[in-house]
Structure 1
Amino acid sequence: MAQPGTGRVAGKTALVMGAGQTPGQTTGNGRATAVLLAREGAKVLCADRDLAAAEDTVKQIAAEGGEAVAITADVTVEDEVAAAVAGCVEQWGRLDILHNNVGISIAGGDAPIADIEADAFARVTAVNLQGMVMTCKHAIRVMREQDGGVITNISSIAACINYPYVTYRTSKAGVVTMTEHIAITNAQYGIRANAILPGLMDTPMAIENRVGLDGRTREDVYAERNSHVPLRNRMGTAWDVANAALFLASDEASFITGVALAVDGGQRLAAG
Structure 2
Amino acid sequence: MGRLSGKVAIVTGAASGQGAAEARLFASEGAKVVATDIQTELLEKVVKEIQENGGEAIAVNHDVTNEEQWQEVVNEAVTTYGKLDVLVNNAGIGGAPGFALIDDVDLASWNKFMTVNATSQFLGIKSVIPEIRKNGGGSIVNISSMAGLVGGAAGIHYTASKGAIRLLTKDAAVELGPDRIRVNSVHPGFIDTPMVSVVTEDAELTKAALQGIPLGRAAQPEEVAKLVLFLASDDASYITGAEIAIDGGATAK
TM-score category of the 2 structures, normalised to the smaller one: over 0.9
The residue correspondences of 1:173-212 to structure 2 (distance < 5 A) are 173-207=163-197, 209-210=198-199
Q: Offset at 1:103? A: 1.7
**Match for residue 230 of structure 1 among 214, 217, 223:** 214
After superposition, what is the alpha-carbon deviation per residue over 1:24-83, rounded to whole angstroms, capped at 9, x for unaligned?
xxxx10000000000101010110011112111101211211010000001111111111
Q: Offset at 1:109? A: 6.0
Q: Offset at 1:180? A: 0.6
1:105 and 1:167 in contact (8 A); partners too = no
1:150 lines up with 2:134 in the alignment: no
Q: 1:109 to 1:258 in 2, by over 3 A?
A: closer
1:99 and 1:152 in contact (8 A); partners too = yes
2:14 and 2:20 in contact (8 A); partners too = yes
Mean Cα deviation higher: 160-169 or 101-110: 101-110
1:108 and 1:123 in contact (8 A); partners too = no
Q: Offset at 1:113? A: 1.9
Residue 100 of structure 2 aligns to a residue whose secondary structure is coil
Q: Which residue in 2 is equivalent to 1:214?
A: none
- Unpaired runs of 5+ in structure 2? none
**Match for residue 219 of structure 1 among 179, 182, 203:** 203
Q: Which residue in 2 is equivalent to 1:261?
A: 244
Percent sequence identity over matched residues? 38
Q: What is the TM-score with the length of structure 1 in the denominator?
A: 0.89
Q: Offset at 1:226? A: 2.1
- Matched letter for residue 229 of structure 1: I
Q: Offset at 1:19? A: 0.6
- Matched letter for residue 11 of structure 2: V
1:242 lines up with 2:237 in the alignment: no
Q: How far apart, in 1, do the equivalents of 2:57 and 2:165 lie?
A: 27
**Match for residue 9 of structure 2 among 14, 18, 28:** 14
Residue 158 of structure 1 aligns to a residue whose secondary structure is helix
Q: What is the TM-score with the length of structure 2 in the denominator?
A: 0.95
Q: Offset at 1:110? A: 5.7
**Match for residue 88 of structure 1 among 77, 88, 92:** 77
Residue 114 of structure 1 aligns to a residue whose secondary structure is helix
Q: How far apart, in 2, do the equivalents of 1:169 and 1:109 lie?
A: 8
Q: Offset at 1:85? A: 1.4
Q: How far apart, in 1, do the equivalents of 2:47 and 2:140 lie?
A: 21
2:10 and 2:36 in contact (8 A); partners too = yes
**Match for residue 114 of structure 1 among 103, 110, 124:** 103
Q: Which residue in 2 is equivalent to 1:60?
A: 49
Paired positions, count: 252
Backbone CA RMSD of aligned residues:
1.4
Residue 59 of structure 1 aligns to a residue whose secondary structure is helix
- Matched letter for residue 176 of structure 2: N
Q: Offset at 1:147? A: 1.7
